[in-house]
Every structure is written in C-alpha cells, then in structure tokens.
Amino acid sequence: QVQLVESGGGLVQAGGSLRLSCSASGSIAEITIMGWYRQAPGKQREFVASTNSGGNTGYAGNPQYADSVKGRFIIFRDNVKNIVELQMNTLKPEDTAVYYCNADIRRIGTRDFNNIWGQGTQVTVSS
C-alpha cells in the first residue's frame, strides 16, 4: 500500500504565505514525478507545480509551474524522505482551493508506475 498525505493548509490573508507538505509512504521502490494540483469550488482540478526526481542531486529537478503561480510558488523535494513541499508566497484570494499532492510511484516488487493522489488540504485566502 502506498499513500500520499498532505499537511499545511489553512486560512491566510491575501499577501501572506503558506507551506504545504506531502509525504509518500509505503512499499516504495521509485518515485518519478511529484507535484501539486488544486481544485476551487465549481472548477476543474488544475495543475499547479511539479518536479522530477532530479537524479542524484537530492533537489527538485526540472520544476514546472502554472503561469498563475510563477514567481510566487516554489516547489521543493527531498528524495530521501519522499517529501514534496510547496512554498506559497504572495497569496491571492483566487488561490483558494483544495490542494492535492500527486505522484507517479512504483511499488517494491513491481515494474509499473501508478499515479497516486493525496486526500487534499484546504487553502483559503481572505481578501
């Protein structure tokens, strides 16, 4: 069994910051892409940021960001602890959403990767 567990959501005023964390646990052999998506009320889930394993550097490799968060959000990754974090700065009311962690994970003893979702964490930005 493999799971992703998010934490760090909450209520913040516009212009403030929050840091989300997502930890992968279970019988994990390999993780390639780790990232974040969000879903606002009445809207479809959308991509926020992602990173690959970064090889052996231990850092976030090839970070990708949605245009709406570029320059404000930063994605971090710890390949040893299987953690991905999202530092969110200069938050806006339109950033309000449930944020979901997502990863492509290969379990020990298998060859295939499965796309796994976390349960989500609420971020609310007040104006």
Model confidence pLDDT, tens digit, residues 63-88: 899 999 999 999 999 888 999 999 99
Mean pLDDT to the nearest integer, 99-106: 97
Angstrom distances, CA of residue 61 to CA of 30, 33, 48, 49, 65: 15, 9, 16, 12, 12
Residue 24 has pLDDT above 70, yes or no: yes
Task: Find tokens 């009320």 and name the residue.
Answer: 41
